[in-house]
Amino acid sequence: MRKYNVAVIGVGAVGEEMLRVLRQRDFPVDQLKVFARSARTVVVDGQSYQVETLNENSFKGMDIALFAGTEGDKGAAVTYAPHAIKAGCVVIDNGADFRMRPDVPLVVPEANAADVKKHKGIIANPNCSTVQMVVALAPIKKKAGLKRIIVSTYQAVSGSGRGGVVQTEEEFRAWASQSGKDVPKHMDQRIAFNVFPHIGSFDDEGYTSEEMKLVNETHKILHDNKIKISATVVRVPVKTGHSEAVYIETAKPISPEKVRALLRKSPGICVIDDPKNKLYPMPVDVEGKDETFVGRIRRDPAVKNGLWLWVVADNLRKGAATNAVQIAEELIRQELV
């Protein structure tokens, strides 16, 4: 098997997870380079990686560049992706900057793997909450069609980066010690013993940018702008693992039993749906796993063709690093790199 030269850009929570996923999935790496704003050594699972300072010439000889990305404005790929592409490297960007550009494919391999062949040097990785929802809904759309999606997310603090995890841990420590310590806020509100419906910036209609990502990215990935989608996103005091209550209305009737059977045979999905025995997906059980977990599949007794699903996934893996590496694997499978 041919091996490939791979660059990982960024060594935050997602960047470290990319290094972990590349190793765990036995990605055919020949030369691996790790870049960030400053040179240093990082250790992931006991293995040391020498981090080089990123510059315009970093991509010479590289085949694939995995940008760990940012949900803020202007991630590193905005500055350096053109240099990578010029060097003959295919860029896979986990940030938000390129997702909605019409000339950039937005890919979840379980849903729209064929779109990778449309790339012009760069492929975008969707938002973490979009990824897991689309994995669960793509088989249902193909079988029964989708008219409407209403989703409420319960998103882990690691989705806001390491700072969110630190804030959560320090707030709980301050409470336990009764120190009265004022913990600096990385997130918008206190998170210990709290939830808040605010991820991203608010628009004039009162929706957050995170909520609109679920709408716009799902339309693009599923190639269907006619699906009516509405979302509410909530930050919860969970370290890792996003959960979603997803309500759908299908175009054609499909029973919960048939949905379970359909999802069980769909790639990348694990169905855990035995609520009478207290079996359903929970973030504490999915951390470190690459699958999207689905349970609580049930009919809406008040609406024809209405169904509820409970969808959980590790936001740092399938929601970010794993999906990016899977895109790279798809490029290799389709001989596009």
Which residues are annotated as catalytic?
A: 128, 242
- Which 8-state DSSP code applies to residue 196? B
